[in-house]
């Protein structure tokens, strides 16, 4: 078939032909790339420019440009638009660097009240300070201009992400100790006894969940109505009755949860929890307790109680700011996602009763939480 004078044939590899065929049949790719893929496929098959124009209904200049780019720089070049800059950029790299430096500094450092920049606030500040700072082109810069500069540098100064600073100098050592305990739990059955362990060892993860709110209704809940109201309806307003603290422990072998709901979480409440745990296990057993460094865990009152039960309890401390290492947090999360979520009560007493009922339901179908990543324990 005839070709335009001076234009070579386009030879495609099997891989290129497959990719072009997929692109030509795509319903999600940009239309211009789909059209160019069809042009290149038909040209590679030997069709003339006129035949391609008739079949695809595109202009001849578009066909010429697509084929010439593919022949000169490859198939991918034939699919894409040629980037060109009609004139030199009016916003210099120095001006962009100045905007970036402002975006990387909190607004309060410039005497403003905000903690983070919003795009509009950053654009306003840049516009005001551009002339005195020697970048007059940025005077009157809008949000879209500032956004493009930030996007080029992958900056989002209007957002915040959090990290955990390691404030405990013994963080790694304590973390390994906790993980070694978890590995030991996974290796030995509940109450396992052998020559190296003459007394059974039970491991309990303990912590507190303070500030659980007793929130009451100001109007009755409206139940769902088929075909009319698919969800339960609730008045926006509510009544605060106060807060309670959940002191809890979970047996890492069986998933049994020990729980007390108290108005406060002092040493006396923590000792009461230890006493309930003590009463649950055989008298000759060792109870290994994984817990943090809360003052009530280490107070004089608590130490005095532990002294009355020598050899009964063994503390394994999690690092400071390492509560995520304590598996009781999984039980607290389950409480929050099940019976604590959206809970409404008429009094603190009702909240306590509801929480203890929820714990009883958890103990009726206990879940054993396991730590599955032990690489750090032996590193």
Bridge partners (DSSP) listed for residue 315: 289
Q: Which helix or strand (DSSP H or E) is residue 92 part of? A: none
pLDDT along the chain (379 residues), means of 10: 62 91 91 92 90 91 90 87 68 93 95 95 94 91 93 94 79 88 80 67 94 95 92 94 96 95 94 96 93 93 96 93 89 95 95 97 93 61
Q: How many whole angstroms separate alpha carbon 226 and alpha carbon 102?
A: 55
Cα dihedral: 182, 184, 189, 193 (round 10):
-140
Q: How many whole angstroms separate alpha carbon 40 and alpha carbon 73?
A: 13
pLDDT given at position 242: 96
pLDDT given at position 87: 62
| C-alpha distances in Å from residue 278, one per residue of 245, 254, 300, 326, 340 | 21, 16, 19, 20, 27
Q: How many whole angstroms separate alpha carbon 348 and alpha carbon 353?
A: 9
| pTM exceeding the 0.85 threshold for the entire prediction | no
Half-sphere exposure of 30 toward its Cβ, with a 13 Å CA cutoff? Answer: 6
Residue 95's closest CA among 60, 62, 64, 133? Answer: 133
Number of H helices, E strands in the chain: 14, 5
Q: List the structure tokens of 362.
A: 């958890």
> Max Cα separation, the chain?
103
pLDDT given at position 196: 60
Q: How many whole angstroms separate alpha carbon 327 and alpha carbon 273?
A: 17
Report pLDDT digits (tens) over 204-227.
999 999 999 999 999 999 999 999
pLDDT given at position 358: 96
pLDDT given at position 147: 95
Residue 322's closest CA among 134, 183, 192, 171? Answer: 171
């Amino acid at each position: 078939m005839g070709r335009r004078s001076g234009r070579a044939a386009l030879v495609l590899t099997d891989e290129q032909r497959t990719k072009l065929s997929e692109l030509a049949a795509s319903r999600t790719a940009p239309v211009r790339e789909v059209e160019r893929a069809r042009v290149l496929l038909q040209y590679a098959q030997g069709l003339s420019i006129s035949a391609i124009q008739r079949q695809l209904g595109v202009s001849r200049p578009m066909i010429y440009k697509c084929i010439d780019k593919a022949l000169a720089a490859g198939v991918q070049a034939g699919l894409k638009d040629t980037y060109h800059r009609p004139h030199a950029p009016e916003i210099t790299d120095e001006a962009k660097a100045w905007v970036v430096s402002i975006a990387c500094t909190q607004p309060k450092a410039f005497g403003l009240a905000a903690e983070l920049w919003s795009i509009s606030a950053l654009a306003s500040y840049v516009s005001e300070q551009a002339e005195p700072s020697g970048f007059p082109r940025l005077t009157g810069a809008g949000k879209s201009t500032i956004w493009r500069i930030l996007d080029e540098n992958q900056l989002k100064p209007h957002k915040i992400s959090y990290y955990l600073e390691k404030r405990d100098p013994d963080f790694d050592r304590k973390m390994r100790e906790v993980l070694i305990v978890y590995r030991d739990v996974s290796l030995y059955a509940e109450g396992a006894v052998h020559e190296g362990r003459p007394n059974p060892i039970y491991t309990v993860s303990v912590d507190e969940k303070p500030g659980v709110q007793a929130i009451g209704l100001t109007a009755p809940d409206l139940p769902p109505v088929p075909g009319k109201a698919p969800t339960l309806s609730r008045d926006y307003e509510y009544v605060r009755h106060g807060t309670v603290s959940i002191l809890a422990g979970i047996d890492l072998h069986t998933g049994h949860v020990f729980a007390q709901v108290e108005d406060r979480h002092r040493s006396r409440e923590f000792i009461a929890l230890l006493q309930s745990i003590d009463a649950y296990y055989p008298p000759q057993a060792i109870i290994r307790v994984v817990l943090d460094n809360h003052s009530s865990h280490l107070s004089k009152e608590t130490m005095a109680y532990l002294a009355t039960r020598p050899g009964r309890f063994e503390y394994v401390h999690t690092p400071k700011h390492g509560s995520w290492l304590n598996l009781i947090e999984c039980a607290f999360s389950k409480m929050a996602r099940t019976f604590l979520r959206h809970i409404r009560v008429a009094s603190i007493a009702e909240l306590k009763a509801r929480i203890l009922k929820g714990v009883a339901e958890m103990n009726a179908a206990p879940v054993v939480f396991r730590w599955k990543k032990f690489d750090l324990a032996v590193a």
